[in-house]
């Protein structure tokens, strides 16, 4: 990896040194600015090499965000602050539960029952056992 890392760094340094004016918006200027930004975090680009199990891409994050992006495009977003807050929270709940392979409807049912009864709502934090399971049968 060392030769690859050194080669990439040399290319970034070469690109970052190309002359551009301050407010220039041409594609070359954008490339130069990107190279400059990448050089500032160059060491972090290689974290996946030294950390076992760390993915070198952000595919998991992209896949997790995809439903929210599609919803926003197809629904034209929400029309109020309260609506935006609701959508943000629901998308967080659904994404978190799916990542934990937990049932969304069960969680929402537990949440609604707990709210009606003035009880503590279930947690999105994964646990080895579900302490609120008795709410499903009540």
- What are the extents of the domains in the chain? 2-50, 58-99, 101-138
Residue with tokens 């049932």: 103
Whether this model's pTM surpasses 0.75: no
Residue pLDDT, tens place only, 64-74: 788 888 887 88
Best-predicted range by mean pLDDT among 31-35, 96-100, 127-131? 31-35
CA distance 18 to 124: 49
More confident residue, 80 or 60: 80
Q: Which of 16-20, 32-36, 79-83 has the lowest mean pLDDT?
A: 79-83
In the block, tokens 């030769």 appear at 3
Q: Give Rg (Cα) of the chain.
A: 23
Query: CA-CA distances (angstroms) from residue 135 to 75, 89, 91, 93?
Result: 33, 22, 23, 19
* CA angle at 95 for the pair 107 and 134, rounded to the nearest 5°: 15
């Amino acid at each position: 990896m060392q030769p690859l890392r050194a080669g990439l760094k040399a290319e970034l340094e070469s690109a970052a040194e190309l002359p551009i004016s301050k407010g220039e918006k041409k594609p070359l200027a954008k490339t130069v600015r990107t190279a400059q930004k990448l050089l500032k975090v160059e060491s972090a680009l290689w974290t996946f090499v030294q950390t076992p199990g760390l993915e070198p891409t952000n595919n998991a994050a992209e896949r997790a965000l995809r439903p929210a992006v599609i919803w926003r495009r197809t629904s034209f977003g929400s029309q109020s602050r309260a609506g935006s807050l609701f959508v943000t929270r629901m998308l967080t709940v659904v994404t978190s539960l799916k990542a934990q392979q937990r049932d969304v409807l069960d969680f929402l049912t537990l949440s609604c029952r707990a709210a009606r009864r003035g009880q503590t709502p279930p947690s999105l934090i994964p646990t080895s056992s579900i302490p609120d399971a008795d709410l499903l049968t009540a």
